[in-house]
Structure 1
């Protein structure tokens, strides 16, 4: 029994060590509140520990963690009266640079965020997962519950729409 408890503790520590940052950032992305994100991050690992199959060593554990973090975060928002239609706005943070560089980067990120927010939720979500959450095609496939081919076609379509927005040619 002690060996089983020790192994469970080691597995849990491994899970937290390897995925804490990504889970926290996911929760913060939805909640926009550090304290709430910390609470949800803890809840994610507790819930995930029972759901993850650790015998599959080659598969990433992030998709199930992402789904749990997303659902818990959206539930927290809903309990506070927020409507959660699709993906919450993505906040692009800027790094400190010279004032001129910081201003240019801020304006560019603000413009990109405006265009992202104009996209349909499915397009916005898949772009954010790929380009801002660094998820692989297989992770996106697991998170969204769609085949990898669909991931690739949705990404192509979303990128095309984003490009049209940036060029001022998209008619929505």
Structure 2
């Protein structure tokens, strides 16, 4: 009589659980997310959809001095993070990152304008005034002349910094 082979146990995808290592990695990620939230100012934190329990735990972190106590508290924060709406929190982080990129891009544009104004002088000021008609032409001309003089004399670019600040104010950034 031939031996019968045992039939393999059929497992649904729902029966397969993540490994203990995977659970630990996910918990550490949640703790790091909590650390990021703790490092933010209360005004920045207000943008996030956080529960009252998590907000209390974040506020409580400031009074913990012991290294071991802080480590345990961060585990608690990670545990609370499991109950939060993580996709909404990540969406806010994405929005903040996008705003930062837009702001950086705008600053780079203004830096290019500053260099262009110093290089071109009055022609550059005319082009800038076409884009930003509310800018103070006289102040720009004075700052551009001073920045050109500083560049020729090899001095520190104090007027170029003032020019950048003026451009930033004109562009309302």
Report the TM-score range of the alignment, normalised by the length of the smaller protein.
Answer: under 0.3
Compute the TM-score of the two structures, normalised by the length of structure 2: 0.27
Structure label with greater radius of gyration: 2
